[in-house]
A and B are shown apart, each in its own frame.
Chain A
Amino acid sequence: MLNLFFLSILQLLYVLALAPLAVGILHVFDERLSSRRGPSIFQEYYNLFKFFRKQSIYPKTASGFFSYVPYITFGMYLFLTLVLPIITAFPLLFGPVVDFVGGGLVFGAASTFLKLASLDSRNSYSILGASRASSIGIFTEPIILLIFIMFGVISGTNNPYVINNILQTSTNWFFSLVHLFVGVAFFLVLIIETGQLPIESHTPNEFGSIDSLMSLEYSGRELALLKWGSYIKSFLLMNVFLNVFTLPFFVPMKFNILAIVLYMFINFLKIILLLAIFAIINNVVSKYRLFKIFDYILIAFSFALMAMVVFYVVNGG
């Protein structure tokens, strides 16, 4: 019991500390692939420190809700780090609080709060960002739900830890077509949720306006918390993709301190591999027009639905 508590704190600190580093490394990869030098990999830490030292200003037309939302969403993201399998494959102290569907709903709740706050700020660009994010988010929800249902079909439960165990141990399920299609669908959704190209771009040349506009009115400590929260969200989603879906190897299934510490490094290496893939994709494709994003979402949905058809066809009747 005390071990689990200690491990929970360790996991929390791991995510808090390394999430900005991950995003920094992604930016550096991007810039290096474009033959530029790019910032240092610790640039996001410097940004966060800068924002924490500054004073927060609130717009005159915003209510009190506007100032509380960053703390609420940050708290939700911290809560999610305690329930997802990041450095262990067995549930930690707070593991049984939510399962996969609950986790998805908490992600959704956090982004809803952010959208409501951006509406509250009465800035037209924030409202634009909120409406775009809503219209895309509403279409990615069914895909995520389908993916979780398919994983429930595979493993019989909705528990991310059990799914990890099954995929780690059973080669039959790992190499099955259902797993492949669901993995591809989740990868496509991951691109949408973390805001990579071809959905949204962050380079100085293009102005991506889906996720970055919503926090336009924030400053100071709230802005730091919002940014940190979004880094943690990206880090968590990438971890879920790697640990549960794609490369669920080496995650320690029993309590062994050495294995867990070793796995913290391996996990970060896996994250760097995924960031390299993202950087390559960012430099190969160009940003989609806004109306083509919905066709892209439909393709992701096709993969998820085809996984269900595959399950019925291959496993007979």
Chain B
Amino acid sequence: MPGLFAYLVVAALVFAIGLFGVLTRRNAVGILLGIELMLNAVNINLVAFARWHGDVVGLLFAMFTIAITVAEVAVGLAIVIVIFRVRRTIDADRLDLLRG
């Protein structure tokens, strides 16, 4: 059984990969996937700490996060589809309606 630190390192790596995806992907679906990775990195953290503390609340919190992630993906994909219908593209570089 590896120590807490190993879990945290894994979680940090996953989070960094997710953030990298969010920042570099031009495809809106790719950005959504990046966000999923970041959320799951958080889940890993929650579970690892729950185990380390021996506290079940952390597990419950992880369940919550998974449920919310599902809802978020549903909404996010719906938004992406609508954007595609309107703009005929989901390239993030070209979605700059709010440029100052």
A and B from one assembly? no
Interface residues of chain B, those whose CB is within 8 Å of chain A, are none
